[in-house]
Structure 1
Amino acid sequence: MKIQKKYVLSFIILFVVIVVVGVIFASEPTISFKEAALGQVNLEEINTIEIIKSVDNTANEKKITVSNPKAIHQIINELSQVQLKKSDSSTPSSDLYWITIRSKQERKLGLTIFGEKSLVVYKYDSAVPKNNVVSYEIISGYNEKLMKNFFK
């Protein structure tokens, strides 16, 4: 009897260890927008943010250019709160925003925001070409009201 209990207990412990290790390796870590996109951008040098909104998934677009330092700071702060997880694709959405962040009239960073679900980051001057475009799933922290308020 004692031998069977040892085998059962050993099996249960081994099973729990395998499950825990599997969960740890299967779940990708989340990263902040700041880590994913803003690492190469000097935030003090950002002088314009261009935002284009797709209207009802048609060719119609609304475009604004934000050059007010206070508004730029607000946008960057809001986006910095977003938690992301790498993804292989982006999820289509009726709310679609294209954002271009410029420093000294040079494009530094491009973003495509698909509603509250996904985000694609374009690094215009990335040193590693394969890192130019990266798709992310939005996990938390995205405030869609911020973008909508610019188009009222």
Structure 2
Amino acid sequence: MKIQKKYALSFIIIFIVIVVAGVIFTSKTTISFKEAALGQVNLEEIDTIEIIKSDDNSANEKKITLSDPKAINQIINVFSQLQLKKSNSGTHSSDSYWITIKSKQERKLGLTILGEKNLVVYKYNSTAPKNSFVSYEIISGYNGNIIPNFFE
């Protein structure tokens, strides 16, 4: 009888350790925007950011191109503060922004902002094609006013 209690107690302890390890692993799945997107981009070489604003009416689509280093740094700093979590899909939003970050007139990074909670990152010329397109949920750090301000 004592041997069965030892086996049962050992099983319960092992089960608890596995559950705790799983909870710790899944709660640490947030990453920064720098880790998710900026790895292949030399920040000093960014010379252009194109932003397309779209809403439910495609006739209202607007496009701006930013080449002012101050504006570029402002946008990169806002995105650098983001904390993200991988997501399977983005939620459709009435306001969407497509952002293309260029270095030496070559597309390096594409971002799609869907509302204030979803971000899709596309890495142009990625060495691993399956990792070139990733959807994220924005956990914290997003200032939803910065991009619309450029369209005023």
What is the TM-score with the length of structure 2 in the denominator?
Answer: 0.86
Amino acid paired to 2:89: S
Q: Alignment partner of 1:144: what SS? A: coil
CA contact (8 A) 1:50 1:99 kept: yes
String of CA shifts for 1:5-61, please: whole Å, max 9, x gaps.
x9xx98986675454233224435100111100000011110000001113x12120
CA contact (8 A) 1:52 1:97 kept: yes
Q: Which residue of 1 aligns with 2:81?
A: 81
RMSD over aligned Cα atoms: 2.2
Q: Which residue of 2 aligns with 1:120?
A: 120
Amino acid paired to 1:119: L
Amino acid paired to 2:103: S
Query: Equivalent residues in 2 for 1:17-32 (5 A)?
Result: 17-27=17-27, 29-32=29-32
Query: Equivalent residues in 2 for 1:16-55 (5 A)?
Result: 16-27=16-27, 29-55=29-55
For residues 134 and 90 of structure 1, the distance between their equivalents in structure 2, rounded to whole angstroms, comes to 10
Q: Which residue of 2 aligns with 1:107?
A: 107
CA contact (8 A) 1:28 1:85 kept: no
Note if 1:58 corresponds to 2:85.
Answer: no
Name segments (4+ residues, structure 1) moved above 3 Å: 9-19, 25-28
Unpaired stretches in structure 1, ≥5 consecutive residues: 1-5
Q: Which residue of 1 aligns with 2:71?
A: 71
For residues 151 and 111 of structure 2, the distance between their equivalents in structure 1, rounded to whole angstroms, comes to 17
For residues 66 and 125 of structure 2, the distance between their equivalents in structure 1, rounded to whole angstroms, comes to 22
For residues 105 and 53 of structure 2, the distance between their equivalents in structure 1, rounded to whole angstroms, comes to 21
Note if 1:147 corresponds to 2:147.
Answer: yes
For residues 25 and 107 of structure 2, the distance between their equivalents in structure 1, rounded to whole angstroms, comes to 36
CA contact (8 A) 1:49 1:67 kept: yes
For residues 35 and 104 of structure 2, the distance between their equivalents in structure 1, rounded to whole angstroms, comes to 22
Q: Alignment partner of 2:39: what SS? A: helix
Amino acid paired to 1:116: E
Amino acid paired to 1:109: L
